[in-house]
Amino acid sequence: MKKTIILFLGLALGAQAFGQKQPDKHWYHAAPTKKNMGISLDKAYASEAAKLPSKTIVVAVIDGGVDIAHPDLKDVIWHNKGEIPFNNIDDDRNGYVDDTVGWNFIGGKDGRMVQFDHLEKVRLYMKYKEQFKNVTAEEVNSNPDYASYQEMKVDIENTIVSGQEQYNFYIKIQSSMLKYIEMTGKPNPTGSDFMALNVDSSEIKLRNLIAKVVEKNHGVWPVLEDLKQTIASMEAQVKYQYNLDYNPREIVGDDYNDSREFGYGNNNVAGPDASHGSHVSGIIAATRGNGIGLDGVADNVKIMAIRVVPDGDERDKDVANGIRYAVDNGANIINMSFGKGYKWDKDVVNEAILYAQDHNVLLVHAAGNSSQDNDVTPNYPNDSLGGDVVANNWIEVGASQPLKKKLATVFSNYGQNNVDVFAPGQSIYSTIPNNGYAYFNGTSMASPVCAGVCALVWSRNPSLTAKDVKMIMEASVELVPGKVVLPGTKKTKVAFPTLSRTGGLINAERALMMGTLPLMVK
């Protein structure tokens, strides 16, 4: 119980964010200052380079789903000209029936969709559990996977138990809060109102804890909202992500042992929850100048929607197929705002990355939100193709925030070798389903900011290669020589250049100028 009480107090501190004022929705479009480290996007659009003729750039958003009907997205959605909508025929013979705007690799032919899936480490544990159920002494000593299995066994079995306990605790907290609210007879009771309640002696500690949390948040509703989200997250963990009896792959109906199988899935690119993918898409491409919502980073772009990410970890087979689908159907850039700490079949993903490289397609990927050094702890997928070979069409993006002295966000992964650049990823406003808008945080938001700038540059100079665009984005960064707070810490200071290969924050004005210089001097 002590652990769950600590967790609840942490939840309470998180709930305080509900009362905090968010920055301007386009804050990162501005030029960088000490209090607002933007990317000079407004200056880029005001430049002579922006007036050059532009070519439409197709950006594939490989994610959890996209709301293609959103009023700020519907005019920028890619349409497959080779496919006649809803005739149940593969008109363009690419292996995907009625893929008019993209494809869903985690759906079934019967229209069902995978919403939840295991974490990759759970899938690996289940694999090893079967592999080593009749383990011999020789295998124990000679098979390196056995040691990994033993580590996973302790971790996962403990997490299953503690997860259920925490889930039950949060349900109890929620139930008790609702009961106490009713007992006070007030619509928004304070912590003092809760403390004044007469409760059974067995509930006094719980009542006091709830009262303390409510007092910190000036009312119950922010706490209840955060509790609701936490319970949903814990429910996903208990019922699906760590449930060893759960098998979502039967919905898809593919041969999961065949990593190079394609053609499975369905054409529902929204899926059951398109919040994340819609937000990512809006950052890149929300219609500029229409007077609603926000202005996307790129002004001449189409979004190809590809769904491979469930609530859980994406599967390598689906990621590889998503990349290949994007390449084969004309994407110039692929944004990948997902990642995980374990791999299942890195070879098949590496083959897809090389396929994209061979076809001049740029891959932009979120560095992850674990406050970890990616040089020490790998984040997958990544640009390492084996040995010393690194993909030359890959940009790995960390997340920055407005204040210069805290430029790297507290959650962002980093790495002097394995993260290339930083881009704004905190308090990012964008599109969500049902015509909505919201602020999200994450390297998931930083990656599409970078992808959008790549699209802007490439649209003005279509003769560039994917490798050229990567080099331009890296060479044009805003160098930040001072010290910042190390992600995951409160006070530890490090030099910002040590957190990425370039040591800088992307800069749209410089990137556009550098990318179009050969055209401007003609």
Burial 305-314 (b: 16+ CB within 10 A, else e): bbbbbbbbbb
What φ, ψ does residue 478 adopt, rounded to 5°? -80, 110
Q: Using omega within 30 degrees of 0 as the cis cutoff, is the peptide bond preceding 71 cis?
A: no
State the Cα–Cα distance between residues 398 and 424, nearest whole angstrom.
8
The single-letter DSSP state of residue 46 is: H
What φ, ψ does residue 380 adopt, rounded to 5°? -115, 150
pTM of the model: 0.93
Which pLDDT does position 419 carry in this prediction? Answer: 98
Q: Which CATH superfamily is domain 37-117+257-368+379-399+417-482+503-520 in?
A: Peptidase S8/S53 domain (3.40.50.200)
Q: For residue 85, which of 68, 98, 94, 70 has the smallest C-alpha distance?
A: 98
DSSP state letters, 220-254: SHHHHHHHHHHHHHHHHIIIIIT-TT--THHHHT-
State the Cα–Cα distance between residues 208 and 226, nearest whole angstrom.
19
What φ, ψ does residue 307 adopt, rounded to 5°? -105, 120
DSSP state letters, 64-120: S---TT-TTTGGGB---TT--TTSSS-TT-SS-TT-SSEEETTB-TTS-B--B---H
> Measured between alpha carbons, how far apart are the two ends of the chain, in Å?
71
* Start-end of CATH 3.40.50.200 domains in the chain: 37-117+257-368+379-399+417-482+503-520
Measured CA to CA in angstroms, residue 48 lies from 53, 287, 519 at distances of 11, 21, 11
Which pLDDT does position 16 carry in this prediction? Answer: 43
Helix or strand (DSSP H, E) at 386: none
Q: What is the pLDDT along the chain (522 residues), one digit of tens a residue?
A: 444 444 554 554 444 444 457 899 999 999 999 999 999 999 999 999 999 999 999 999 999 999 999 999 999 999 999 999 999 999 999 999 999 999 999 999 999 999 999 999 999 999 999 999 888 888 788 888 898 899 999 999 999 999 999 999 999 999 999 999 999 999 999 999 999 999 999 999 999 999 998 888 878 888 898 899 999 999 999 999 999 999 999 999 999 999 999 999 999 999 999 999 999 999 999 999 999 999 999 999 999 999 999 999 999 999 999 999 999 999 999 999 999 999 999 999 999 999 999 999 999 999 999 999 999 999 999 999 988 899 999 999 999 999 999 999 999 999 999 999 999 999 999 999 999 999 999 999 999 999 999 999 999 999 999 999 999 999 999 999 889 999 999 999 999 999 999 999 999 999 999 999 988 766
In the chain, % helix, strand, coil (3-state, to 5) comes to 45, 15, 45
Question: If you compute the radius of gyration of the chain from its CA atoms, what whole number of angstroms results?
Answer: 24
